[in-house]
Amino acid sequence: MDRVQRDARRTGFTQASTREIIFRTQRLRYDAREVSYSFPRPIAQADEVAAFDSGEPSLDDYLRRKALANHIEGGSRCFVTTIGRRVVGYYCLAAGSVQHQDAPGRVRRNMPRPVPVILLSRLAVDREERGNGLGSHLLRDAITRSAQAADTIGVRAILVHALHSDAASFYRHFDFMPSPTDDLHLTLLIKDARALLGG
């Protein structure tokens, strides 16, 4: 069993015949009762976001005030994981681009100016759920959706703008490469994303 397969099993993902990564409903102990995380899905009007607290005010405020409206209007797509209706984690995807001088060599090679990317604009987990692997689950789901989108539209990589060095370290663990001009801007080639997912 290789590293990707071991990690997939550990984090609750399994490789399906279609090479999609399946987010299994994960059971855990929470406040002395058994609960389950939902499969990541598009945000909905009925989702409870008021109590969400990631410890990063900008990420919390976006979820409470803008995520649903931007999702509906098409500015970005927001996907949430819930316990019941309470959102405990989310991420957002949008179309984007990166200038050649800001992209690692592997990303900009043979690409137009600017390089087309999918922007992973936000990813956050409620502080009460930290340590359960939920952030990794959400990132893998975001990578999976991005790789699937790249089958239909031209896109070179996934781009993230990390808030700080700790967040950047999280993404580097999943093979994201820092920009030559900003260590907090990181990219993951689509072909590397597929390899990470076992495709």
By annotation, the residues acting in catalysis are 171
Rounded Cα distance, 186 and 141, in Å: 18
Which H or E element spans position 76?
none
Q: Which residues pair with 157 in a beta bridge?
A: 117, 189
DSSP category for residue 65: H
Q: Is 153 helix (H, G, I), strand (E, B) or coil?
A: coil
Q: Where are the alpha helices (DSSP H) in the chain?
A: 3-11, 57-65, 67-73, 105-108, 134-149, 165-172, 190-196
